[in-house]
């Protein structure tokens, strides 16, 4: 194998508290495609900055092959002193590459003479990507490159990366992007790096095996600690003196156990929140229209949203997705048509800019609305510090102002605040921005169990596919078409979204496509498929337990010997038999559902 372009060895860094990185390592060869994953705050962005040379570690070595051109695209690029998009993209480029720069600017849907200081977050990221590709790097470092990008631009980025003759290291929360682009994974866990030489598709099972091994190690430590504590109680007394070496060993074991436990802490936990009852109809939209000047964003949209519907909304940036949400919630007044919410519908909006959060308020004030230190959650009164912990906030962050929180922390806070209010209509505008994979997984599970109606704007294809039952797609000129299923179903119809080079200001209309082939059958939801996978093992365990209890109850003298045991077993047996019957019925229902979904439409 050729010598690596970049090597990081024994990297350590502390930002005033516990070490952020400890003995971290990274080796990058030509044309590597490595994704860096880990929880928010674990040091992913910091490691990329060390790799780029932007910051120096406290310890360790960084070696870059002489002549290697490294380009780093940060999570929040800024225009600096550039006056126009063209000035920004060609900065530090020789004149010979200016033509390529103009071509890339056009490809990402920008104009060269646009004021760089007036770019939105998504436009600034597109300009930064154009600048990075124009530089023709040997090593490209991308920090959350899909954040604030629409789906057409993400598809363009994937194509551009496949054509790029360079090594790429990237951080992303977009599971589909990770699966499509990675050929290796660097996992940062407890400040240390762990390398998988396969794509992200294999990562989660590999990570779970690693964590299970940690669990086994913790169990062994528990047993060893129990033995040592037993010796401390009885062995020391028997000898009338302490064995200081064994006392020290017990202390070391306890410390190791504590570290293992800390590695397993930090998973966000969302309990089931109260869902208000509601009528069958969540929203009735008739002939809805909205324009801004000559920009038509919604054109004659007719749509009925029923209780329990999960509708995704996708389209290029500027196509009117957020405008449509604001029309539905009543924040904007339509030019014509109407939106009528059901009489008992209580919508809650989680917006992409987290505008529901007051940056001057502290974390606690945001959750309690400045009233005391208790919150009402799922019908119970809880201390706000305990509620904060559900969303991975530490007690010492209670008085931290919102303005000082990271993007991921603001995202978690917006979720925490919204979920305090009972609702039956959840409206999510780009909820995945800045959330790490673990937090996204918990949010997905919560949404799958949510009994209300969901309206979701997202560029995250995997997130859409796992949540929505139908999708509204911006078709241009204010038209919207609803398709059954998620993004994968639309892609299967060969109906790709418009590329970044054609960014009409589009809007919406609901209509049934008449000349398109029928959609492929829907697969089971993520929760249903997981239940179907797990039920055979559960059924087997219940059958084994029932068999053992039945055999014990069959002993002729059990009642005379131990009537309490007989009574307990009888009760447990009845419960297990009831649970077995329910599990078998659930398995049969899911199997029938799976068969029905996989059957051809005319079957």
pLDDT in tens, 575-593: 888 888 787 777 767 766 6
In this prediction, residues 343-364 reach a mean pLDDT of: 79
Among 57-66, 430-439, 535-544, the range of highest mean pLDDT? 57-66
**pLDDT by residue (tens digit) across 463-473?**
898 889 899 99
- Coil, strand or helix: which one is 336? strand
Q: What is the pLDDT of residues 263-307, one digit of tens each?
A: 444 555 555 454 555 567 888 999 999 999 889 999 999 999 988
Cα gap 567→105, rounded to integer Å: 77
Region 388-402: what's the mean pLDDT?
Answer: 85
pLDDT, position 286: 93
Give the pLDDT confidence score for residue 408 in this predicted structure: 73
Between CA 461 and CA 487 the distance in angstroms is 6
Q: What is the C-alpha separation between 444 and 216, in angstroms, rounded?
A: 28
Q: Which residue has the tokens 């604001």?
A: 326
The answer to whether the CB of 600 falls within 8 A of the CB of 542 is no
Dist CA 386 CA 142 (whole Å): 36
Instruction: Write the pLDDT tens digit of every residue in 443-456.
Output: 887 788 788 899 99
- 306 burial (CB, 10 Å; 0-12 / 13-18 / 19+) is middle
If residue 461 lies in a helix (H) or strand (E), which one and from where to where?
A: helix 461-467
Backbone angles phi, psi at 234, to 5 degrees: -110, -40
- Between the alpha carbon of residue 331 and those of residues 156, 276, 354, 479, the distances in Å are 33, 22, 16, 21
Is the pLDDT at 105 greater than 50, yes or no? yes
What are the structure tokens assigned to 470, written together? 């139908």
Name which of 72, 78, 76 is nearest 135 in CA terms.
72
pLDDT in tens, 413-425: 888 887 787 888 8
148: three-class secondary structure by DSSP: coil
- Where does the pLDDT of residue 603 fall: very low under 50, low under 70, confident under 90, or very high at 90 and above? very low
Confidence band for 353, pLDDT divided at 50, 70 and 90: low
Helix (H) or strand (E) holding 533: helix 526-553
Q: Model pTM? A: 0.69
Q: Which run of H or E residues covers position 341?
A: strand 336-341
β partners of residue 19: 14
């Amino acid at each position: 194998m050729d010598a690596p372009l970049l090597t990081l060895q024994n990297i350590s860094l502390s930002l005033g508290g516990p070490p952020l990185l400890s003995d971290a390592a990274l080796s990058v060869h030509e044309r590597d495609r490595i994704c860096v994953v880990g929880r928010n705050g674990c040091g992913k962005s910091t490691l990329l900055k060390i790799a780029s040379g932007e910051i120096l570690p406290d310890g360790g070595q960084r070696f870059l092959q002489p002549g290697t051109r490294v380009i780093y695209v940060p999570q929040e690029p800024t225009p600096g002193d550039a006056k126009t998009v063209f000035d920004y993209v060609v900065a530090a480029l020789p004149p010979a590459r200016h033509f390529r720069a103009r071509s890339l600017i056009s490809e990402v849907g920008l104009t060269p003479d646009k004021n760089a200081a007036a770019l939105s977050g998504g436009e600034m990221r597109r300009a930064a990507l154009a600048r990075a590709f124009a530089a023709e790097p040997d090593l490209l470092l991308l920090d959350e490159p899909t954040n604030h990008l629409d789906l057409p631009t993400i598809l363009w980025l994937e194509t551009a990366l496949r054509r790029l003759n360079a090594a790429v290291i990237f951080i992303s929360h977009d599971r589909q992007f990770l699966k499509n682009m990675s050929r290796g994974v660097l996992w940062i866990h407890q400040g240390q790096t762990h390398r998988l030489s396969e794509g992200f598709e294999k990562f989660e099972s590999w990570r779970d095996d690693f964590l299970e091994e940690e669990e086994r190690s913790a169990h062994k430590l528990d047993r060893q600690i129990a033995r040592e504590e037993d010796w401390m109680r009885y062995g020391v007394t028997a000898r009338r003196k302490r064995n200081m070496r064994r006392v020290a060993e017990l202390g070391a074991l306890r410390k190791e156990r504590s570290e293992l436990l800390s590695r397993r802490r930090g998973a966000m936990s969302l309990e089931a929140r109260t869902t208000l009852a509601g009528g069958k109809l969540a929203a009735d939209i008739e002939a809805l229209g909205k324009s801004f000047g000559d920009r038509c964003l919604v054109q004659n949209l007719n749509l009925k949203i029923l209780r329990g519907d999960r509708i995704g909304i996708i389209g290029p940036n500027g196509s009117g997705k957020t405008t449509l949400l604001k029309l539905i919630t009543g924040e904007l007044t339509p030019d014509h048509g109407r939106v009528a919410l059901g009489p008992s519908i209580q919508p809650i909006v989680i917006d992409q800019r987290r505008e529901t959060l007051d940056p001057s308020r502290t974390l606690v004030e945001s959750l309690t609305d400045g009233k005391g230190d208790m919150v009402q959650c799922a019908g119970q009164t809880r201390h706000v510090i305990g509620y904060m912990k559900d969303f991975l906030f530490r007690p010492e962050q209670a008085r931290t102002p919102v303005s000082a929180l990271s993007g991921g922390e603001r995202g978690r806070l917006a979720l925490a605040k919204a979920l305090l209010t009972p609702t039956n209509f959840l409206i999510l505008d780009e909820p995945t921005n800045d959330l790490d994979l673990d937090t996204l997984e918990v949010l997905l599970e919560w949404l799958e169990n949510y009994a209300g109606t969901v309206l979701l704007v997202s560029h995250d294809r995997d997130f859409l596919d796992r949540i929505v039952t139908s999708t509204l797609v911006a078709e241009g000129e204010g038209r919207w078409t609803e398709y059954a299923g998620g993004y994968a179903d639309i892609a299967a119809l060969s109906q790709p979204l418009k590329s970044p080079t054609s960014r009409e200001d589009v809007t919406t209309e609901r209509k049934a496509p008449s000349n398109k082939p029928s959609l492929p059958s829907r697969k089971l939801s993520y929760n249903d498929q997981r239940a179907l996978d797990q039920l055979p093992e559960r059924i087997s365990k219940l059958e084994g337990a029932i068999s053992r209890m039945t055999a014990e109850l069959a002993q002729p003298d059990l009642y005379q010997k131990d009537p309490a045991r007989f009574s307990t077993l009888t009760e447990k047996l009845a419960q297990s038999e009831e649970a077995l019957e329910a599990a078998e019925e659930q398995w049969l229902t899911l199997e029938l559902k799976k068969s029905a979904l996989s059957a051809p439409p005319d079957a």
